[in-house]
């Protein structure tokens, strides 16, 4: 067993890990980033939607974006549709493999060393340091650091080895990147709702240009025994809109992954140990989006690591306070909304989407105040506009019941609507 000593070891080369490694190395810390896969960014497993906030705050290159988004179509379970279109670009779509490699290159340029094919197994404390035990090429490694930043992603091993219990639920995703799609617009993602299509979440077509895109979905395994591939193949074959979009298209590649939703990990730190990104559950439960929050948390974690190494005993506490101040409200808000959506029967969800499609003033409120990164900003304008219409008031009892359920279960497990796993009849 070999032993190496570092100021900071970052585990995982995704957005949180890449930003943490870059920030730590630029601060002059001897930094190592380890990645379990033999290639950074592979396998890709994300739709790649990244908000305008990230490009502005982190000076991301415009060339990283494949397409710009400014609109969305919401397809209800009953086939109805509501469309919203903003006056300016809201988000971009990136290739996560290329994006992650770009971040790693910036970290390497700053002086970070990168080791690939290193599978972290556990962490332990020893003489004021943290020992990362890992495997590589059939052998074992013992890497020693003042601070370990855990950016493992959705599936984590290290926190439990240091006594930090998870408080998350994992949804399972699958998407097909395809060429030759028949899209209506190259700046308008299409979202498909309904328990029969994607129980516990939704399906989508994410455009990558005029005729290319990613067709995918996520499911909550607590609500169905069927795998994501069953639902995606059924969506492609049977959904009246998706089937038309996909007809004649060519499959380029498949992307799979798990996303932690419905609760962030608390605490997100321990002596000599910080958790960032998906590993900390820093993901919006409504959409599964977490790249921007991962970048923010990665930078904050690296800054906290520098303070820890300098002897600041409160650095971990301040790290958690800092990221919760930046986006903790969004995590809680989207958790409540996700549980509310999951509690709404399909007919009621169809009525909600129908109300958006039929009410120009409600659409305008969403278009003017909508921000896919900070979704809580929509709450007051949308509620205000809905309360002005007696038609939307008829939806209030069902929505309020679902909202109450979301609030009551925001910090706990969400049972299936029937009290057991849902089984679908085909």
Determine the average pLDDT of the residues in 11-34.
Answer: 97
Residue 169 has a pLDDT of: 80
**Tens digit of each residue's pLDDT (9 = 90 or more) over 138-149:** 899 999 999 999
**Tens digit of each residue's pLDDT (9 = 90 or more) over 364-407:** 777 666 667 776 766 665 666 565 664 555 655 555 555 555 44
Query: Picking from 5-14, 153-162, 175-184, 307-316, which range would have the lowest pLDDT averaged per residue?
Result: 153-162
**pLDDT above 80 (res 177):** yes
Residue 343 has a pLDDT of: 85
Sign of the Cα pseudo-torsion (36, 41, 42, 46, in order): positive
**pLDDT above 70 (res 243):** yes
**Tens digit of each residue's pLDDT (9 = 90 or more) over 53-112:** 899 999 899 999 999 999 899 999 999 999 988 888 889 999 999 999 999 999 999 999
Measure the CA–CA gap between 187 and 91, rounded to whole angstroms.
9
* pLDDT classification of 425: cutoffs 50, 70, 90: very low
Residue range(s) in the chain whose domain bears CATH number 3.30.9.10:
49-95+169-261
Look over the chain and give the mean of its residue pLDDT values, rounded to a whole number.
Answer: 86
Q: Which of these, 282, 37, 276, 324, lies nearest to 148 by C-alpha position?
A: 276
Q: What is the dihedral of CA 419, 331, 107, 58, to 10 degrees?
A: 140
Residue 226 has a pLDDT of: 96
Q: Which one has a higher pLDDT value, 309 or 342?
A: 309
Measure the CA–CA gap between 367 and 112, rounded to whole angstroms.
42
Distance in Å from the first CA to the final CA of the chain: 54
Determine the average pLDDT of the residues in 184-195.
Answer: 94
Residue 426 has a pLDDT of: 27
Angle between helix 396-408 and 329-343 (nearest 10): 130
Measure the CA–CA gap between 207 and 210, rounded to whole angstroms.
7
**Tokens coding 327:** 């986006």
Q: Identify the residue whose tokens are 């497990």.
A: 413
Burial of 236-258, coded b for 16+ CB within 10 Å and e otherwise, reads: beebebbeebbeebeeeeebebb
Determine the average pLDDT of the residues in 167-196.
Answer: 92
Measure the CA–CA gap between 74 and 286, rounded to whole angstroms.
14
Residue range(s) in the chain whose domain bears CATH number 3.50.50.60:
2-44+96-167+265-327
**Tens digit of each residue's pLDDT (9 = 90 or more) over 295-336:** 999 999 999 999 999 999 999 999 999 999 999 999 988 888
49-95+169-261 maps to which CATH number? Answer: 3.30.9.10
Measure the CA–CA gap between 275 and 298, rounded to whole angstroms.
9
Fold of 2-44+96-167+265-327: FAD/NAD(P)-binding domain (3.50.50)
Residue 408 has a pLDDT of: 47
Q: Percent of the chain, pLDDT > 90? A: 62
**pLDDT above 50 (res 2):** no
Q: Identify the residue whose tokens are 């990613």.
A: 214
Residue 407 has a pLDDT of: 46
Residue 292 has a pLDDT of: 95
Determine the average pLDDT of the residues in 4-8.
Answer: 90
**pLDDT above 60 (res 423):** no
Residue 47 has a pLDDT of: 76
**Tens digit of each residue's pLDDT (9 = 90 or more) over 204-230:** 999 998 899 999 999 999 999 999 999
Q: Which one has a higher pLDDT value, 248 or 357?
A: 248
**Tokens coding 114:** 């990168």
């Amino acid at each position: 067993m070999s032993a190496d000593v570092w100021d900071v070891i970052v585990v995982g080369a995704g957005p949180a890990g890449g930003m943490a490694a870059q920030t730590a190395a630029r601060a002059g810390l001897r930094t190592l980033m380890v990645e379990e896969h033999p290639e950074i960014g592979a396998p890709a497993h994300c739709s790649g939607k990244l908000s305008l906030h990230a490009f502005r705050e982190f000076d991301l290159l415009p060339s990283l974006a494949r397409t710009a988004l400014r609109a969305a179509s919401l397809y209800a379970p009953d086939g109805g549709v509501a469309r919203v279109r903003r006056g300016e670009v809201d988000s971009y779509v990136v290739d996560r493999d290329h994006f992650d490699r770009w971040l790693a290159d910036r970290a390497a340029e700053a002086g970070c060393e990168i080791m690939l094919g290193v599978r972290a197994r556990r962490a332990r404390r020893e003489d004021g340091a943290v020992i990362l035990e890992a495997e590589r090429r059939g052998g074992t490694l013992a890497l020693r650091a003042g601070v370990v930043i855990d950016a493992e992603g959705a599936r984590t091993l290290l926190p439990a080895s240091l006594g930090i219990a998870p408080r998350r639920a994992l949804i399972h995703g699958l998407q097909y990147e395809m060429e030759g799609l028949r899209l209506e617009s190259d700046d308008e993602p299409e979202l498909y709702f309904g328990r029969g299509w994607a129980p516990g979440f939704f399906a989508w077509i994410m455009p990558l240009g005029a005729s290319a895109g990613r067709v995918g979905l996520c499911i909550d395994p607590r609500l169905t025994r069927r795998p994501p591939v069953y639902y995606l193949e059924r969506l492609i074959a049977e959904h009246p809109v998706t089937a038309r979009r996909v007809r004649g298209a060519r499959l380029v590649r498949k992307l799979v992954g798990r996303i932690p939703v419905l609760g962030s990990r608390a605490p997100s730190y321990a002596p000599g140990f910080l958790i960032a990104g998906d590993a900390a559950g820093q993901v919006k439960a409504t959409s599964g989006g977490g790249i921007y929050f991962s970048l923010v948390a990665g930078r904050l974690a690296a800054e906290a690591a520098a303070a820890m190494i300098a002897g600041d005993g409160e650095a971990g506490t301040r790290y958690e306070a800092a990221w919760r101040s930046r986006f903790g409200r969004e995590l809680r808000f989207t958790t409540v909304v996700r549980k509310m959506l999951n509690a709404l029967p399909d007919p009621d969800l169809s009525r909600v989407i129908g109300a958006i499609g039929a009410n120009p003033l409600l659409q305008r409120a969403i278009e003017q105040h909508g921000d896919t990164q900070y979704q809580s900003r929509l709450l007051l304008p949308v509620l205000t506009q809905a309360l002005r219409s007696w038609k939307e008031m008829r939806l209030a009892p069902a929505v309020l019941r679902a909202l109450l359920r979301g609030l009551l279960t925001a910090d706990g497990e969400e049972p299936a609507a029937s009290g057991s796993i849902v089984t679908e009849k085909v």
